[in-house]
């Protein structure tokens, strides 16, 4: 719920974040990523589960800067990720095409002790196989500091 | 079948601490790779001067998803052969270049189902044995043959 003493945030609910091209986790990139983590590379082609975040962020229809711009927020003002939630229906695989759909759920404007005024941006992204089979759904919340309103 | 504190299901004890996973140094070079993985050119991950200019410190800042990946890797090591069903986390702080990080967790619940064992864990990531930078909950499925023993 928005703070009643503040101007309302932009109405961004429902803005589409659906991608226009498929996303593929390459086996090579998965190997590189696992190496940065000290994680084993799965022999059965399973990708590291963190690709839930990477694939949906890269494969959605906007860049992070574009997502911020849709909220009338300059990415240079420092968005901060606050929370992530994901539900998997299937494991992610390398060399498999995935399609991403999603939308912005909304902005909630609040006062913050440390940031003054901030908006909480919530959006949902879904990743599916080309035949539409759901693979995962993730919801992220970002903090957008609104220092000009503090 | 579900278990309460102190009980054990299929070799997994509710309340058991998971083996921690430590990365001794978060390398700035790793952040450069992650900038490519994420297609995220934000200079706070690449250039200490950009971090200083924003008043955020004097070392590059690790990407939040990379921090979360340490937690997931800890779970993969604790439960080889498992699959991640569900995860919810809060990002509570930053990891800087040169920090050491430690991921850990605790078994919160175990439920034996027909084709798998569902394990719910509280998870966390700590930077420099100091601040909690990620906390949350994960649910994993373990195939019966791959059940580890945490007692």
H or E element that contains A141: strand A134-145
CB of B146 less than 8 A from some CB of A: no
Interface-testing mutation among B35, B47, B62, B69, with chain A (most A C-beta atoms within 10 A): B69
B-chain residues near A64 (CB < 8 A): 40, 42
Q: Tokens in use for A93? A: 């695989």
ipTM of the complex: 0.94
Write the residue in B39, B72, B83 that is nearest to A50 by C-beta: B72
Q: pLDDT per residue over B54-103, tens digit each?
A: 888 999 999 999 999 999 999 999 999 999 999 999 999 999 999 999 99
Give the residue extent of every domain in chain A.
Answer: 23-149
Kindly determine whether residue A87 and residue B33, on different chains, have CB atoms separated by under 8 Å: no
**3-state class of A122 per DSSP?**
strand
B151 pLDDT above the threshold of 70: no
Could you read off the pLDDT tens digit of each residue along chain A, which spans 150 residues?
Answer: 777 788 899 999 999 999 999 999 999 999 999 999 999 999 999 999 999 999 999 999 899 999 999 999 999 888 999 999 999 999 999 999 999 999 999 999 999 888 889 999 999 999 999 999 999 999 999 999 998 887
**C-alpha to C-alpha distance for A42 and A149, rounded to whole angstroms:** 48
> With respect to CATH, is domain A23-149 assigned 3.40.50.800?
no
B8-26+63-146 folds as: Thiol Ester Dehydrase; Chain A (3.10.129)
B-chain residues near A85 (CB < 8 A): 86-89
For residue B129, the model assigns a pLDDT of 75
CB of A78 less than 8 A from some CB of B: yes
B147 pLDDT above the threshold of 60: no
**C-alpha to C-alpha distance for A23 and A109, rounded to whole angstroms:** 33
Instruction: Say if CB B71 and CB B103 are below 8 A apart.
Output: yes
- pTM for the full predicted model: 0.93
H or E element that contains B123: strand B117-127
Give the residue extent of every domain in chain B.
Answer: 8-26+63-146
């Amino acid at each position: 719920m928005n703070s009643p003493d503040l101007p309302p945030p932009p109405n961004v609910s429902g803005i589409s974040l659906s991608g226009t091209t498929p996303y593929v986790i390459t086996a090579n990139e998965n190997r590189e990523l696992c190496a940065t983590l000290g994680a084993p590379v799965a022999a059965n082609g399973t990708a590291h589960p963190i690709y839930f975040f990477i694939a949906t962020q890269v494969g959605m229809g906007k860049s992070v800067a574009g997502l911020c711009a849709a909220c009338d927020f300059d990415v240079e003002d420092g968005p901060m990720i606050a929370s992530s939630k994901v539900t998997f229906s299937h494991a992610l695989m390398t060399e498999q095409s995935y399609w991403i759909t999603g939308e912005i759920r909304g902005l909630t404007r609040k006062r913050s002790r440390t940031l003054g005024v901030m908006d909480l941006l919530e959006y949902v992204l879904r990743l599916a196989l080309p035949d539409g089979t759901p693979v995962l759904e993730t919801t992220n919340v970002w903090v957008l500091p609104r220092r000009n309103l503090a | 079948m579900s278990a309460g504190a102190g009980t054990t299901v299929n070799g997994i004890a509710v309340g058991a601490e998971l083996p921690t996973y430590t990365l001794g140094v978060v390398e700035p070079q790793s952040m450069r790779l992650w900038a490519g993985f994420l297609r995220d050119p934000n200079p706070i991950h690449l250039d200490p001067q950009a971090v200083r200019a924003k008043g955020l410190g004097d070392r590059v800042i690790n990407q939040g998803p990379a921090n979360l990946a340490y937690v997931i890797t800890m779970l993969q090591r604790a439960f080889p052969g498992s699959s991640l069903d569900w995860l919810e986390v809060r990002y509570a702080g930053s990891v800087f270049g040169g920090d050491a990080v430690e991921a850990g967790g605790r078994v919160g619940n175990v439920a034996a189902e027909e084709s798998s064992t569902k394990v719910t864990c509280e998870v966390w990531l700590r930077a420099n044995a100091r601040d909690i930078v990620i906390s949350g909950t994960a649910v994993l499925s373990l195939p019966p043959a791959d059940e580890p023993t945490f007692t």
